[in-house]
């Protein structure tokens, strides 16, 4: 099994994916253990002094003015975890919780938190044992970190609350730890706070969304090319020299992908035949511009994620010169903004894909295709309601594109008076990515059927490869009406698994 070694300088996106989705094992580097021990010495020294130090010998948030005596400090750390584990609603997905916990471990191992090495090792042991804390949908405002979600994880570390075992069964965390031979942690000064104060949940969901959207954008380039082909459009608008004079990198990449898919097609270039057209509709002609803008948004979001992955997010932090200083690095604004930005880009990509699907089904705009791609229009409805489903998904994506980060509700008696809502932005982006996958799948389903209905014209070799792969995956081709939901589900599985890209790349070479 793949092993991820956590050091002091952060982790990579591929590390997060390996732990969250593939169950990779975690090891702490010798450098990280040494940094943990050194920072802990600083915290212990400060804890022994009579002067109050925030997070070490004081209360938290609006209660930070109270100095906590030594005999109450362990109780203070336990209490902050128990009281902050106040989430409600549905359980958050296992991969999200694993990413959340792994990214908190990443910051702990930076040596800036003052957490003991044994606490970090226990976090790694829990992940390696396949134990997943039960975390709930609601509770994070994305400031002072993802407090409630991280508190539920810390509760498991203490052997309290509920968690899911490696067999998928939820039970008391203490029992699951005992079965795995893991001793619960007795938290000391600073440690409870350090386990809660990070942007780890929203960052984990950003990393996973970026991975999914990278594949989805390539898949959308392919389905846009198939729709252009099915509509007998012109691929002249994809010429590199046209995109060179508006040099947005994403636009050029999308146009190049579409051009590669369409190479050798007998269907493109017929726009001057029976019903001459000077230009194709925007949804066809401007596909690279819309998808390209989304790709450039992905690039910006990836830069933010990389910076955050290299960060140590905690408050207060232990600095190399021995100071323990309060700060505002836990504010989720940098991550929240790009999460919202990605939801906007995804909604627009879904919207333009739906417009191409609708064009394929409308006999007045499809240039010779049967109404709704039906076998016997009137007797058969064809893909009429598939487009309804697609439109419903697009409508929801537009609602999900409304920014969460534009909102803020003060909390903690006005001490935390401006929050990011980054967790909420991440949660709605996950739904948007799911919906976009289904929208692309419906366009794929319609476009492949439409191409097969163009008798006497041979599609591009890459298009043929996609059609053959889709049919082999159980997505049926043209014919009389049938129970449509299973076909759409099979198309969704095909897109979700990255099989669109896998089908064309042996013909086109690697897509950009």
Could you tell me the sign of the dihedral formed by the alpha carbons of 429, 434, 435, 436, in that order?
positive
Q: Over range 231-235, report the average pLDDT.
A: 94
Q: Could you tell me the CA-to-CA distances from 484 to 169, 381, 390, 474 in Å, in that order?
A: 34, 11, 13, 12
pLDDT at res. 453: 97
Q: What is the pTM of this model?
A: 0.95
Q: Could you tell me the CA-to-CA distances from 26 to 14, 16, 101, 107, 263 in Å, in that order?
A: 13, 11, 12, 14, 45
Residue 318 β-bridge partners = 324
- pLDDT per position as a tens digit, 123-137: 999 999 999 999 999
Q: What percent of the chain has pLDDT over 90?
A: 85
The span from the CA of 215 to the CA of 213, in Å, is 5
Residue 163 β-bridge partners = 133, 171
Q: Could you tell me the CA-to-CA distances from 174 to 102, 179, 448, 485 in Å, in that order?
A: 20, 9, 53, 43
Q: Has residue 474 got a pLDDT over 90?
A: yes
Q: What percent of the chain has pLDDT over 70?
A: 97
Q: Over range 186-210, report the average pLDDT.
A: 95
Q: What's CA 282's distance to the chain center, in Å?
A: 29
pLDDT at res. 55: 72
The span from the CA of 336 to the CA of 143, in Å, is 10
Among the residue ranges 74-83, 113-122, 168-177, the one predicted with the least confidence is 74-83
The span from the CA of 361 to the CA of 110, in Å, is 56
**Short-list 336, 142, 360, CA closest to 231:** 360
Which SS3 state, helix, strand or coil, does residue 137 take? strand
Q: Over range 173-182, report the average pLDDT.
A: 98
Longest CA–CA separation in the chain, Å: 90
Q: Over range 335-341, report the average pLDDT.
A: 98
Q: Has residue 68 got a pLDDT over 90?
A: no
Gap between the terminal Cα atoms of the chain: 30
- pLDDT per position as a tens digit, 416-468: 889 999 999 999 999 999 999 999 999 999 999 999 999 989 999 999 999 99
Phi, psi of 137 (to 5 degrees): -60, -40
pLDDT at res. 49: 84
pLDDT at res. 271: 56
Return the residue matching tokens 């010998």. Answer: 57
Q: Over range 24-44, report the average pLDDT.
A: 96
The rounded mean pLDDT for the chain is: 94
The span from the CA of 5 to the CA of 262, in Å, is 43
456 or 159: which leads in pLDDT? 159
Which SS3 state, helix, strand or coil, does residue 49 take? coil
The string of DSSP codes covering 200-263 is HHHHHHHHHHHHHHHHHHHHHHHHHHHHHHHTT--GGGG-HHHHHTS--HHHHHHHHHHHHHHT
Q: Has residue 97 got a pLDDT over 80?
A: yes
The span from the CA of 504 to the CA of 465, in Å, is 6
Q: Has residue 273 got a pLDDT over 70?
A: no
The span from the CA of 461 to the CA of 477, in Å, is 18
pLDDT at res. 511: 98
Which SS3 state, helix, strand or coil, does residue 30 take? helix
Q: Over range 8-31, report the average pLDDT.
A: 97
pLDDT at res. 275: 62
Q: Over range 10-19, report the average pLDDT.
A: 97
Q: Which residues have CB under 8 Å from 456's CB, separation 6+?
A: none
Return the residue matching tokens 């898919």. Answer: 261
Q: Has residue 39 got a pLDDT over 80?
A: yes
pLDDT at res. 398: 98
Q: Has residue 274 got a pLDDT over 70?
A: no
276: confidence class by pLDDT, cuts 50, 70, 90: low
The verdict on whether 54 is a catalytic residue reads yes
pLDDT at res. 496: 98
pLDDT at res. 50: 82
pLDDT at res. 51: 79
**Short-list 375, 376, 373, CA closest to 385:** 373
How big is the chain, counted in residues? 512
Q: Is the peptide bond before 316 cis (omega within 30 degrees of 0)?
A: yes
The span from the CA of 294 to the CA of 487, in Å, is 28
The span from the CA of 413 to the CA of 409, in Å, is 11
CB neighbours of residue 363 within 10 Å:
14
Determine which one of 54, 138, 217, 282 is catalytic.
Answer: 54
pLDDT at res. 308: 96
Cβ burial 210-226 (10 Å sphere, 16+ → b, else e): bbbbebbbbbbbbbbbb
**Short-list 372, 370, 214, 356, CA closest to 285:** 356
């Amino acid at each position: 099994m793949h092993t991820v070694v956590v050091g002091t300088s952060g982790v990579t996106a591929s590390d997060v994916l390996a732990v969250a989705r593939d169950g990779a094992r975690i090891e702490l580097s010798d450098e990280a253990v040494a940094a943990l021990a050194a920072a802990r010495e600083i915290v212990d020294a400060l804890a022994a002094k009579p002067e109050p130090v925030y997070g070490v010998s004081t209360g938290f948030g609006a209660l930070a003015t109270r100095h906590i005596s030594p005999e109450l400090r362990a109780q203070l750390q336990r209490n902050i975890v128990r009281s902050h584990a106040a989430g409600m609603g549905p359980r958050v997905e296992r991969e999200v919780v694993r990413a959340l916990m792994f990214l908190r471990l990443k910051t702990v191992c930076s040596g800036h938190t003052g957490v003991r090495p044994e606490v970090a090792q226990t976090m790694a042991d829990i992940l390696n044992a396949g134990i997943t804390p039960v975390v709930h949908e609601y509770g994070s405002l994305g400031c002072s970190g993802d407090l409630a979600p991280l508190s539920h994880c810390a509760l498991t570390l203490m052997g309290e609350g509920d968690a899911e075992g490696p067999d998928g069964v939820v039970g008391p965390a203490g029992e699951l730890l005992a079965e795995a031979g893991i001793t619960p942690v007795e938290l000391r000064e600073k440690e409870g706070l350090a386990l809660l104060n990070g942007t780890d949940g929203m960052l984990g969901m950003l990393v996973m969304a970026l991975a999914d959207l990278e594949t989805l954008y390539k898949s959308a380039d392919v389905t846009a090319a198939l729709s252009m082909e099915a509509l007998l459009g012109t691929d002249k608008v994809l010429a590199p020299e046209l995109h060179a004079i508006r040099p947005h990198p994403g636009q050029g990449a999308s146009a190049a992908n579409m051009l590669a898919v369409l190479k050798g097609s007998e269907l493109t270039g017929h726009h001057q035949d029976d019903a001459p057209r000077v230009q194709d509709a925007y949804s066809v002609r401007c596909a690279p511009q819309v998808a390209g803008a989304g790709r450039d948004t992905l690039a910006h979001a990836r830069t933010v994620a990389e910076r955050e992955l290299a960060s140590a997010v905690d408050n207060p932090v232990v600095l190399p010169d021995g100071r323990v200083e309060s700060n505002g690095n836990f504010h989720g604004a940098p991550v929240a903004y790009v999460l919202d930005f990605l939801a906007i880009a995804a909604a627009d990509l879904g919207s333009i894909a739906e417009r191409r699907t609708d064009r394929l089904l409308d006999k007045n705009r499809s240039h010779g295709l049967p109404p709704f791609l039906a076998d016997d229009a009137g007797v058969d409805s064809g893909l009429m309601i598939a487009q309804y489903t697609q439109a419903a998904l697009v409508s929801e994506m537009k609602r999900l594109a409304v920014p969460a980060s534009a909102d803020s509700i003060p909390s903690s008696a006005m001490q935390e008076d401006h929050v990011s809502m980054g967790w909420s932005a991440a949660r709605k982006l996950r739904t948007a990515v799911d919906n976009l996958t289904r929208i692309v799948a419906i366009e794929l389903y319609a476009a492949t059927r439409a191409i097969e209905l163009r008798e006497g014209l041979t599609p591009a070799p890459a298009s043929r490869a996609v059609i053959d792969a889709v049919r082999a995956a159980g997505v049926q081709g043209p014919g009389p009406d049938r129970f449509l939901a299973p076909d759409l589900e099979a198309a969704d599985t095909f897109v979700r698994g990255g099989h669109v890209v896998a089908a064309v790349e042996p013909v086109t070479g690697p897509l950009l």
